Amino acid sequence: MEKAFDLVLRGGTVVDGTGGASYEADVGVKDGRIAAVGGISAAGAEEIDARGQLVTPGFVDVHTHYDGQATWDQRMQPSSWHGVTTVVMGNCGVGFAPCRPEDHDRLIRLMEGVEDIPFPVLSTGLPWNWESYPDYLDSLAGRAFDVDIGSQLPHAALRVFVMGERGANREPATEADIHAMAALAKRAMEAGAIGFATSRTLNHRTSDGQPTPTLTAGEDELMGVAMGMAAAAGGAGRGVLQVVSDFQDPAEEWAMLRRLVEKSGRPLSFSLLQSPKAPRSYQTLLAGLRQANLDGLPMRAQVASRPVGILFGLELTLNPFSQHAVYKEIAGLPLAQRVAALKDPSFRARLLGEEIESQRSFAGSQPRNWAGMYLMGAEPDYEPTADQTVAALAERTGRDPARIALDHMLTQDGRGMLYLPFLNYADGNLDPAYEMLTHPDTVPGLSDGGAHVGMICDGSFPTTNLVHWTRDRTRGPKLPLETMVKAQCRDTAETVGLFDRGLVQPGYRADLNVIDYGRLKLRAPEVAHDLPAGGRRLIQRADGYTATIVAGKVTYRDGTPTGALPGRLLRGAQAAPVKLAAE
């Protein structure tokens, strides 16, 4: 006899994504949708005892870079280890479609430089069974995943596709170029793009040091693309705009972004972090953002819940000795052999005794920034105090900071890591992040899941949002659990037009988490060698996710994949359930 429900979660504490108070209830699932919430007497074909645990909507991560990984992998880890059930990729204007065959390597070098994904990984892993952006979506539509995936049209790929070398060299787009880009943007939205993304920051460069092709794109070009999106079939157009910018002239740049939204009618989000170069500039942008929304313009900022932190280690892209001539003698050796050399007293003496010229580049200066660097422990601390820096530890113990760093990297058979909070930590605390997170027009984002495989491991942001901000923070105010769940479920979903998820209510997608809140914690980052061509990447797991559910199917139990792959490509915005949309 058929059961009334495919799945029932029994007796959990439901944090439903509305921001309202949590409550105890059963949740019944049928045909991939939430069918009932409350006291359920009927049985489910499968049941999970959620008593004493949280039941939340699945997390929606709007800022990832799985554009390559989604073509060769079915599991969007690390994100799916952290309760994420929907990801949006194509951010920062980088991606792989549209692309002519002769530009394959060009787009790979751009992704390698911007997102630290090695050339051999991408050149080996990408099947390139597409040229147009709709063809790229079609290639993904034939695949199954552990999460739902939304894709954005990347500006760099679009620009190079239309303009060729001129586009790569950042030449101004002609009227014909803009017309062509607008037509392709319209087609991309109609094919199922979630939106369009661009980059206007000098931090984004190809692996050979060239700025991203979109850096200096004019307002006429951006407006042309936005108006192409507005012309897409579906009444008021389709798609969201996503921007990362240096805001070098904040007033002029902000006015331009406002005009894009005013004229096109498309919603826009932009990346917002505290920069150590201008520690209060984020407040100016928050004020402009509030005014824009009061003026009826749908604009949001994507903000980070912890520092964007660079990791250094012997297995990683950089370590404090990377620029040393002595270290370069062993740099190409397998890890075990390097560890043996670094433990050899004579080699250590040569390495630690070598003086190198100070360099202004990041690679030369930051890996020896002892005053801003911390030892990454087994239980990561993402709001460390100044007395925990390598420099403070050296002063307190009378030891050489370089020796402290080296000894820590040699722990765990050479897998010890050092942590340098780089953005969002100019004040030495996360009070600015709190200010950004509590602003009415921001959403948590910027995890960069799938990217920065050798330096940054921030795909675990969603777990930090719960653990640090609602439970464990000691250096300042915390956030209500219900507020944070709403922020990274319903608010993020709405930001990218996914109105069918993010709530535990009948009719909505059965994307859910069962979380042992008291046991929830982050593990330390580690290195895995599981990318194409044997490439390595940073990963980070968590404890406490009892079950993650996508479209009614349990995809993870206690952090272990079940084998279920119900996730699919999302084709554009998703409407709210008809019953609730009419209310």
| 245-270: pLDDT as tens digits | 999 999 999 999 999 999 999 999 99
Please give the average per-residue pLDDT across 361-383, as a whole number.
88
Please give the average per-residue pLDDT across 272-299, as a whole number.
97
All structural domains of the chain, each given as residue ranges with its CATH number in brackets, are: 5-57+508-581 (2.30.40.10), 60-304+425-495 (3.20.20.140), 311-423 (no CATH)
Rounded Cα–Cα distance for residues 571 and 122 (Å):
25
Residue 354 has what pLDDT?
92
Residue 583 banded pLDDT, cuts 50, 70, 90? very low
Closest to 271 (Cα-Cα) out of 112, 497, 431, 447: 447
Closest to 525 (Cα-Cα) out of 389, 418, 373, 368: 418
Residue 301 main-chain phi, psi, to 5 deg: -105, 140
pLDDT one-digit tens code per residue, 480-528: 999 999 999 999 999 999 999 999 999 999 999 999 999 999 999 999 9
Residue 361 banded pLDDT, cuts 50, 70, 90? low
* Distance from the Cα of residue 343 to its chain's centroid: 37
Enumerate long-range contacts of 397-406, CB under 8 Å, 24 or more apart.
400/352, 401/370, 402/320, 402/321, 402/352, 402/368, 402/370, 403/352, 404/375, 405/320, 405/370, 405/373, 406/320, 406/321, 406/342, 406/348, 406/351, 406/352
Residue 400 has what pLDDT?
97
Residue 578 has what pLDDT?
81
Tokens of 75: 């599991």
* Distance from the Cα of residue 200 to its chain's centroid: 18
Answer yes or no: is pLDDT of 34 > 60. Answer: yes
Answer yes or no: is pLDDT of 120 > 60. Answer: yes
Mean pLDDT of the chain: 96
Residue 581 has what pLDDT?
47
Rounded Cα–Cα distance for residues 418 and 399 (Å):
17
Residue 358 banded pLDDT, cuts 50, 70, 90? low
Rounded Cα–Cα distance for residues 113 and 515 (Å):
37
- pLDDT over 70, % of the chain: 97
Report in angstroms the alpha-carbon separations of 262 from 75, 295, 573: 38, 10, 20
Provide the whole-model pTM.
0.97
* Cα diameter, the chain: 77
pLDDT one-digit tens code per residue, 128-158: 999 999 999 999 999 999 999 999 999 999 9
Residue 1 has what pLDDT?
67
Residue 351 has what pLDDT?
97
**45: helix, coil or strand?**
strand
Rounded Cα–Cα distance for residues 213 and 131 (Å):
19
Residue 233 has what pLDDT?
85
Closest to 502 (Cα-Cα) out of 119, 15, 40: 15
Least confident of 62-76, 235-249, 297-311, 402-416: 235-249
- CA within 13 Å, CB half, 561: 14
Rounded Cα–Cα distance for residues 391 and 196 (Å):
43
Please give the average per-residue pLDDT across 443-471, as a whole number.
97
